A and B are shown apart, each in its own frame.
Chain A
Amino acid sequence: MRSQSQLVLKDAALAKTSSFREYLGELKKSDSVSGYHYIEPREPTYVDLPSTLDARIRSALDARGIAKLYSHQAEAFELAHAGKNVVVITPTASGKTLCYNLPVLQRIIENPDARALFLYPTKALTYDQLDDLMAWTNALEGAGAGSPVKPVPDARISVYSYDGDTPQDARSAVRSRGHIILSNPDMLHKGILPHHPKWAKLFENLQFVVLDELHTYRGVFGSHVANLFRRLARICEFYGSRPQFICTSATIANPQELAEKLTGRAFEFIRESGAGESEKHLFFYNPPVVNRQLGIRRSYIQEARHIASAFLKRKIPAIVFANSRLMTEILVRYLKEDLEHGPVPEETVVGYRGGYLPNERRHIERGLREGRIRGVVSTNALELGIDIGSLDVAVLAGYPGSIASTWQRMGRAGRRSGTSVAVLVASSTPLDQYIVGHPDYFLNQPPEMGLVNPENIHILLSHLQCATFELPFEENELFGGHNVSEIMQYLSERGFIHKAGTKWHWTSDSYPADSISLRSVSSDNFVVVETTADPRIIGEVDYSSAFSTLHEKAIYLHQGQQYFVQRLDIPERRAYVKQADSDYFTDAITYTKVKVLETMETAVSHHHGEVHVAHQVVGFKKLKFFTAENVGSGDLHLPTQEMHTTAYWVTVPRDRFEALKFSLTERLNGLHGLAYAFANLSCMFLMCDRRDIGSAVDAGVDGIAFQPTVFIYDNFPGGIGLSRPLYEIRQQVLAATRQMIQSCKCEAGCPSCAGPASNAKEAALAIVDIVLNA
């Protein structure tokens, strides 16, 4: 293999051929394992089927081999049956779908007019659940025919999915006949609520709203969805219904509060899972240091590759999680190289991520369930509850950025088998190093809170427009409990709405939901067109990441195959690519400029307010596969992406900055290093995803009265309420940043603390001392 020779010696434990058990033993002893944790198997808690459960449901359960329920399933049924809103914490593979399927099916059997709306955060999950529900309704029909309980004519429970892929001519049937509609929040926002009169039958009879994967509704998306439910509540009220909510969530710190914030209702909370758990071995793996001076560790991608290969070579199915699409593709390539030589089946290792076409995804999901595919490398796309059958090992290449995600990903191993293994391989980012250096912190820490800020003015304005479009808005009407008359006045001044009598009406010939996306990424996608032979579409990339992955001369990776980007057509949203076989990949260089628009609060050098952020991809580097050696670069001229958001920033008094006993370059390195470390620790304290915040430095060289500044901003237009709390806890975060930089084992700065630039470490410490004592 051409590049193997360039690798430093592998960890001995990883190279040996031994049995699974022996291998685990060796892994435990490895010096690179900074922490090992054993979770004992747990016996499931079963209870009898609830006495009120319909006979047909009983026999359908019986046909599935279910004679008893897990305690949490029965509890959810009883509470929902009694009319309560329920939120259930469901670890992976704990039978969450029965928690809502049973009460909903029961209700529809009792009252065939009843309707239910099931919302999933992604289309992929919708299809997975649609298959399951179809099996249920078929079983119920069969059960009705055979049992003494006679089926009512036309009693068939119809289940439909409704999303952008639903054919136009099928839509009216879905609207009038569907008992259970499976959809996603985006479709509710754009396709259902604005056309509610067509859905009168649903809204008049809506008894249940099921919100699956509740924990995904946080940040911008969650803030939008909270407002979406305020709109839903208005529409339901108009049609005289008041649906109950059933939410399921992965382990987060505040499921009940999140559910209540999203829906504006009070919830019953089921926290005890009755499902059993297989025994689980957790490993925290820190790649060994190869250069102490520079603090360089061995590549975590390579280490994750070796660990995954070790399991896959022993024929143990494994899932590998990477944190970006690029890393996913690189890992697929590596693992294919390790495993697929000789006459082996083609699909031993595959990639799975957003950007693959739906059919391709279904094919992979099936392959995994049927065991045809042994290894899969995925982004967070497989973190949610898509049924992919049983995998024994989960390898996490890099800390996913949140504790909840880490548990979800680790939970992907061991759905059914007796023993499962999860290995977290740390990258050299400060956050990863912190986690892997303090596994006890990770294990003790409650998982993140789902933070939402439905009161983001941009988000609120968007939904007030949609709400007014859907139903005229009463002048004294509250929205999410808020008096919004000032905001309505603002909208009317801009000509969007108009007051007649006591109501606001929509007065624009545009359709407001059309231009509003619920996700942080815009709904605007680039299509990737392969032109090697006949042109064909091989994938999609969202607008915000298109510039960094599909710029001209980029190497775009898809299913381990490399494509060279020939042309990026921005107006047409297309990228033309050709198959290529290069020995390098590309990494975009971005430039971020932050400008203060308005300071809202100030305490000496610390500020909180509104900023303007301009983000531009200005060039790219060519990095060699396997070694990441820089083999070239290029300039790019791409449009700037801009936003208004909120930020916390700290300024360093100019005189004190200049008085520091470092060269100008070193001082600037220190400033960047501080921003880098500070941003990483901010995530930990705010318990948000690293991508939710951005950081930037203004060295102030072009200002007259410049003050060197470090910005930490909400990485979403309008902000999602992270920078304000950061402003409040700044002393704590700064002190922790100082401690982290100081305790790092490197000499002058490394990727795990202040960054590998000349004297960044000492300079950053000096700067932090200035602002801490200011």
Chain B
Amino acid sequence: MPDFGKALKQLRDRDRQPYLTGFSPVSSIPLSTQLQFLKSARPLTYVPVGSASRRETLPPGEVESTPFGSHYIVRKLYAYNYYHGRVRLSRLSIPELQKLMVLMKQRSTVTDRNRIIFLDTETTGMQGGAGICPFLVGVGHFDGDDFRMIQYFIRDFDEEPSMLYALGEFLKGFDLVVTYNGGSFDIPLLETRFTLARLDNPFQRIGHFDLLSPARRLWRNGHGSCRLVALESLLSFARGPDVPGAMIPRVYFDFLQQRPSPELAGVFTHNVYDVVSLAALSIHACDRVAAEPAAFDDPLDLYSLARIFENSPDWRRAVQLYERAIEGGLPEAFRIKALENLSVIYRRTGDPARSFQLCRQLMDSEIFSLAAFEGAAIYWERTLSNAEAALQVVERGLEKLENSPGNKRWRSLLQARWDRLQQKVIGFPSSETS
């Protein structure tokens, strides 16, 4: 066996041994040499910088100067008589907009139409993160009955602080900013950019109304896609050729690197459409909630509207909307849901008989309706004080679930009701005899 006396001693001394200092273990290859290899291993395959004139590609506009430098702006006027598709822009009414916002549970308020600004940005990427830059910010606002459009554009990244400064100053004249998906995209992005440029964040003092979620609630059932471009058909507006959103960053990079970028003008137009359509769609959304529904309205849109009113202080309006939607003809699943909701509203308005009638209708339908059996049971138990009949209704429901591929939650809910009613039915005589 080897002698470890010496090793042991050294081990004990180990903590006191000086650790290595000031060494340079890796004699690294100089960076420039490494770079040379990289270049030879991966030769350049395209010419990165072109010689296209940036000025010629830009739509007509003007250079604006600020204490932070300069940037480019493009203005456009939509006069009082401009129709966007079939919507006259100057028709926007503040009381109606206020009503829409309340209905959609928005906290912001607005009193002056001239103090609303519609906003949309075009950016160098969609996935977020600190490296994404808004290179074009379009804003539109009312000036009396005219609608004025201003587009803030940076001809290169170093113009961003100036552009943001100008935008921030301009926003001081407004109380409410309206966007489409700005809640999760445009506004946080711009806020980040103001922070990074060490400028005051103008959005802290302005209210924000994001039309995307109201639009979804109003039109998703009837239209499917609620992308702004898809909803333009509601306005009878057609864009014609348009630059696809996914291509926009590439177009801007081409412009920056002086490669030909003929689509740049198209990006400006795309942005104008986004802002003006946003304003027009706001008006259309106001119409939906303020005006009486038209005879030829899509029943699914009426159904959507009913669902919105149902949960508002104005819930009584939902009755007529549901009735008309059902009359107009709904797909079966929606029809059942409409009848169910209607039966609940009738019960709330103090018309239990009518509510019960709907429940009976639903109990006989092919699709299982939990609300129908529950509603009928409640009617028997509470209104007619007949627990036994209520129990029978629940039993019928459980029976029906046996035959259909019901879901477990329904079964357990009904079962719980059955247990309670059973107690009541059995318990009643026993308490009388005692």
* Bound-state Cα–Cα, A194 to B34, Å: 27
Neighbouring B residues of A721 by C-beta, 8 Å: 26-29
Docked-complex contact A470 and B1, CB < 8 angstroms: no
A253 within 8 A of B: yes
Give which listed residue, A439, A449, A471, contacts B25 with CB less than 8 A: A449
Central interface residue in A492, A511, A725, by most chain B CB within 10 Å: A511
Given A487-B35, A493-B48: A500 and B130 interface contact (C-beta under 8 Å): no
Docked-complex contact A440 and B19, CB < 8 angstroms: no
A195 within 8 A of B: yes
Q: Mark A442-466, 1 if CB is under 8 A from B, else 0.
A: 0110100101110111101100000
Neighbouring B residues of A272 by C-beta, 8 Å: 15
Given A196-B130, A486-B32: A444 and B23 interface contact (C-beta under 8 Å): no
Residue of A nearest to B17 (CB): A446
Neighbouring A residues of B124 by C-beta, 8 Å: 506-507, 509
CB distance from B122 to the nearest CB of A (A): 12
Given A451-B25, A486-B35, A725-B26: A505 and B257 interface contact (C-beta under 8 Å): no
Neighbouring B residues of A493 by C-beta, 8 Å: 44, 48
Docked-complex contact B11 and A443, CB < 8 angstroms: yes
Docked-complex contact A457 and B38, CB < 8 angstroms: yes
* Bound-state Cα–Cα, A136 to B38, Å: 50
* Bound-state Cα–Cα, A74 to B2, Å: 40
* Bound-state Cα–Cα, A669 to B125, Å: 56
Neighbouring A residues of B37 by C-beta, 8 Å: 457, 597-598, 600, 610
Docked-complex contact B7 and A439, CB < 8 angstroms: yes
B129 within 8 A of A: yes
B430 within 8 A of A: no
* Bound-state Cα–Cα, A469 to B133, Å: 10
B21 within 8 A of A: yes
Residue of B nearest to A504 (CB): B157
CB distance from B69 to the nearest CB of A (A): 9
B192 within 8 A of A: yes
CB distance from A527 to the nearest CB of B (A): 24
Question: Which of A12-20, A35-43, A149-157, A545-553 is near enough to bind chain B?
Answer: A35-43
A59 within 8 A of B: no
Given A439-B2, A500-B157: A271 and B15 interface contact (C-beta under 8 Å): yes
By the criterion of a CB under 8 Å from any partner CB, how many residues of chain B are at the interface?
Answer: 54
Docked-complex contact A273 and B15, CB < 8 angstroms: yes
Neighbouring A residues of B26 by C-beta, 8 Å: 451-453, 720-722, 724-725
Docked-complex contact A490 and B35, CB < 8 angstroms: yes
Docked-complex contact B1 and A36, CB < 8 angstroms: yes
B428 within 8 A of A: no
Neighbouring B residues of A597 by C-beta, 8 Å: 37, 41
Which residues 696-734 in A have Cβ within 8 Å of B in the complex? 720-722, 724-725, 728
Neighbouring A residues of B23 by C-beta, 8 Å: 254, 257, 449
* Bound-state Cα–Cα, A771 to B389, Å: 102
A256 within 8 A of B: yes
Which residues 1-60 in B have Cβ within 8 Å of A in the complex? 1-2, 4, 6-8, 10-11, 15, 17, 19-23, 25-29, 31-35, 37-41, 44, 48
* Bound-state Cα–Cα, A646 to B29, Å: 10
Central interface residue in B1, B44, B191, by most chain A CB within 10 Å: B1
Docked-complex contact A503 and B128, CB < 8 angstroms: no
A333 within 8 A of B: no
Give which listed residue, A446, A503, A509, A722, contacts B250 with CB less than 8 A: A509
Neighbouring A residues of B35 by C-beta, 8 Å: 457, 486-487, 490
* Bound-state Cα–Cα, A696 to B119, Å: 62
B112 within 8 A of A: no
* Bound-state Cα–Cα, A269 to B15, Å: 12
Neighbouring A residues of B15 by C-beta, 8 Å: 271-273
Docked-complex contact A509 and B32, CB < 8 angstroms: no
Neighbouring A residues of B28 by C-beta, 8 Å: 453, 455-456, 721, 724
Docked-complex contact B48 and A492, CB < 8 angstroms: yes
Neighbouring B residues of A490 by C-beta, 8 Å: 35, 38-39
Q: Mark A490-506, 1 if CB is under 8 A from B, else 0.
A: 10111100101111011
Q: How large is the interface on A (under 10, 10 to 19, 20 to 34, 35 or more residues)?
A: 35 or more
B315 within 8 A of A: no
Neighbouring B residues of A451 by C-beta, 8 Å: 25-26
Central interface residue in A269, A451, A453, by most chain B CB within 10 Å: A453
* Bound-state Cα–Cα, A721 to B256, Å: 38
Residue of A nearest to B259 (CB): A495
* Bound-state Cα–Cα, A197 to B38, Å: 34
CB distance from B132 to the nearest CB of A (A): 8
CB distance from A774 to the nearest CB of B (A): 23
Given A449-B25, A507-B256: A470 and B31 interface contact (C-beta under 8 Å): no
Docked-complex contact A511 and B7, CB < 8 angstroms: no
Which residues 185-233 in A have Cβ within 8 Å of B in the complex? 194-198, 200
* Bound-state Cα–Cα, A540 to B44, Å: 38
B349 within 8 A of A: no
B426 within 8 A of A: no
B352 within 8 A of A: no
Docked-complex contact B249 and A469, CB < 8 angstroms: no
Neighbouring B residues of A610 by C-beta, 8 Å: 37, 41
A566 within 8 A of B: no
Neighbouring B residues of A196 by C-beta, 8 Å: 130
Docked-complex contact B27 and A439, CB < 8 angstroms: no
Docked-complex contact B31 and A35, CB < 8 angstroms: no
Docked-complex contact A505 and B129, CB < 8 angstroms: no
* Bound-state Cα–Cα, A53 to B276, Å: 63
Which residues 117-135 in B have Cβ within 8 Å of A in the complex? 124-131, 133
Given A34-B2, A486-B31, A505-B157: A470 and B131 interface contact (C-beta under 8 Å): yes
Give which listed residue, A444, A455, A469, contacts B131 with CB less than 8 A: A469
Docked-complex contact B19 and A195, CB < 8 angstroms: no
* Bound-state Cα–Cα, A646 to B34, Å: 10
Neighbouring A residues of B250 by C-beta, 8 Å: 509
Docked-complex contact A498 and B2, CB < 8 angstroms: no
Residue of B nearest to A722 (CB): B26
* Bound-state Cα–Cα, A46 to B193, Å: 53
A508 within 8 A of B: yes
Give which listed residue, A257, A468, A494, contacts B21 with CB less than 8 A: A257
Given A498-B253, A507-B124, A721-B26: A37 and B158 interface contact (C-beta under 8 Å): no
Residue of A nearest to B159 (CB): A500
* Bound-state Cα–Cα, A528 to B39, Å: 40
* Bound-state Cα–Cα, A39 to B12, Å: 9
A95 within 8 A of B: no
12 contacts between A and B (CB under 8 A): A195-B128, A256-B19, A271-B19, A460-B31, A490-B35, A494-B44, A495-B257, A503-B158, A509-B127, A646-B29, A722-B26, A725-B25
A-B contacts besides A507-B256, A644-B41, A724-B28, 14 pairs, CB < 8 Å: A37-B7, A254-B25, A257-B23, A439-B2, A449-B23, A455-B28, A457-B34, A469-B130, A471-B196, A482-B31, A495-B48, A498-B257, A507-B257, A728-B27
B-side residues, CB < 8 A to A, are 1-2, 4, 6-8, 10-11, 15, 17, 19-23, 25-29, 31-35, 37-41, 44, 48, 124-131, 133, 156-159, 191-192, 195-196, 249-250, 253, 256-257
Interface pairs A-B: 5 shortest CB-CB = A469-B131, A501-B158, A721-B26, A457-B34, A500-B157
